[in-house]
Structure 1
Amino acid sequence: MDTQQNTALTRALAEVPGPLPASGVIHIAIPHTDRFTVVGNHLAQHPDLSCTAVGIAVRIQSLPQGIEIGIKALAARCREGEKRIAAALRELEAFGYLQRVRDRLPSGRVITRTVFCNQPTALLRPRRPAAPQHPAAPAPRPAPAEAPAEVPRSAPARAQAPTSAPAPAPAQVPTSPPAPAPTSPPEPDTSAPQPVPPPPLFSAHPAPLFVPLVPPPTAPKPPPAPLPRPDELTPELVRAATAFLSDLRRHTPQLTLSETDVRQLVPGVAAWLERAAHPDAVRRALTTDLPHPLRHPAKLLRHRLTALLPPPLPGSQDMAVPARPRITVTPFQTCDDCDRAFRSPAPGHCRDCREHRAHRSEATRTAA
């Protein structure tokens, strides 16, 4: 007697079509007549978006156009803090629902427009133009400016009607308009240019407005890099690599490998050992900062053996510093006549003294 029965709920459950499920949620769908927002299941049931991001997306869709949806503005409307709202906006931006586009105004000022798309995957499909030009062609037909062009064509038809027979004259009146009807649309196109509608915001262009930052899950993934192999897989390297991989479970129990995994990873470890990597250094590179939980240890070791492979050690010739080229310095000499210093590989006279001796000898020969 103390339990209160909700008669409205009972009546609503009775109106649900079909048998009621024994467990799980029961939907009572009452159609909305005002103040509602249509949300797609691709957003409401998104497998990679958090519930906070989905709620913020629904809140943004319900707001009218032009409302500020920054972090502080949303924090004033919601109970979540600024950090959670910022993380939710980053999630929405990563999956293409939210985009920030830089635009330049006619005044030269650069602004950032925040655009929310309720179905980002539809932007990648080709779309038809939003404003076709065919409906705009019949508009000039009833205009009075175009009427005089067709009056002379119908006037001879009415003038010839009394000469042939007075009765068929009314019958030819409805037949005259269909004849020029197909030719009337091209006339306004040549005489008066039609106004060009502005391009739609979301249309198929060579450079789309929105480019998703994260590729969709169905996008083809690049093939993984091959496992490194040594130049020569000797029996000693195979034995050392097998022992190293089998011993990993002693240090890290999460890296317990099967015999098949060990045989597949032996060339990668042999490539490290061939490049003079110490086993302790290889173990640290493979076992440091492991994810929790570790579901596929063999795949993790394969990735680390490939991505963290060190370069081979340089040889003694590679480490040798190239010798600097020797610069020959011409020594100073002292002139035998004027004791002036000058550079010359051999002792003798400076340039001025050589020229003076040449002039004196030339004058002696001339005098002789």
Structure 2
Amino acid sequence: MDTQQNTALTRALAEVPGPLPTRGVIHITIPHTDRFTVVGNHLAQHPDLSCTAVGLAVRIQSLPQGTEISIKALAARCREGEKRIAAALHELEAHGYLQRFLHRLPGKKVATRTVFCNQPAELLRPRRQMPAPVPIPVSVPIPVPAQPQPQPQTRAHPQARAQAQAQPSAQPPAHAPKSDPEPAPDPNPAPEPEQAPAPPLPPASLPVPPPPPPPPFVPLVPPPTAPKPPRPPLPQPSELTAELDRAATALLSDLRRHAPQFTLSEDDIRQLAPAVATWLERDAHPDTIRRTLTDDLPQPLRHPVKLLKHRLTALLPPPLPGARDLVVPARPRIVVTPFQTCDDCDRAFRSPTPGHCRDCREIREYRGEDVRVAA
């Protein structure tokens, strides 16, 4: 069979600008749009740093602000062991990428702060002095006097114009053009619009206010020295009998057969036995308790006792309901009075026992006869 070709790779190679090299690596560069970190070649191609140190520096540079980067925290994120990570951190510290310093806290406490710089060479150069802010000239509008608007001219009547031409008048000079007759004044002149007062000129020596300072940085992740909330106490049974204590101790001692990480000491078993007894008191099966405590373990498991305390407290089932709690409450019974037939008039009426209806009882009482009263 022929070797299957990758169409996407072939298309990507065809889009590489320029001729492809005959040997060595060929770069297919796809621009990132999100979730990327800029790494300088001074770090990626550092001649004195090992590949582990370079990779660890890239990992630290991609982490958000406030993330813990201790040896144990990095060992939990990476596949390298603590010794290899510690050696890589010493390399980064020797070349200036990583710095540690002591920070004094209130209450005579000292904490170690870790700082990572992506360009340590820039820290050795003198900082440029920022230029003083130049005052920005403020443009002030200059008021322009309003020009008089031309008044509308009225046309004279043709007859009046002919009479004016017929009357003798002073002859103007030959070179002067004839002027139109002056318009009649408007009896109701329109009021001129009032001019808005000009804004006051600002003083020339007024300094430009500096921009407000940026808001203080508030880390989203609390620092390691922040007080932690207290842990909830272990559950306790209502009555720790000898049978419950023996069953809980046996279950905890048997955990190492199913998960070797849970090889507990006697003090740990004695401390966790009341919590397991609470589960047994609430009718939890031992196999269910064992499966809850040993399934889906984190890798690597560093604190097995703390994990058992958390699962025994957070996953505690509620007590089983009693027999009376499971009984559905009965609906209220509605008693329906049956129909009866009157012995005299055969009329139907409601009564628990047969007899006479109301009208027949009144008639019999009026006649003095015996009346069968329905209950």
TM-score over 0.5 (shorter chain): no
TM-score relative to the length of structure 2: 0.39
TM-score relative to the length of structure 1: 0.40
- Greater RCO (CA < 8 Å, at least 6 residues apart): 1
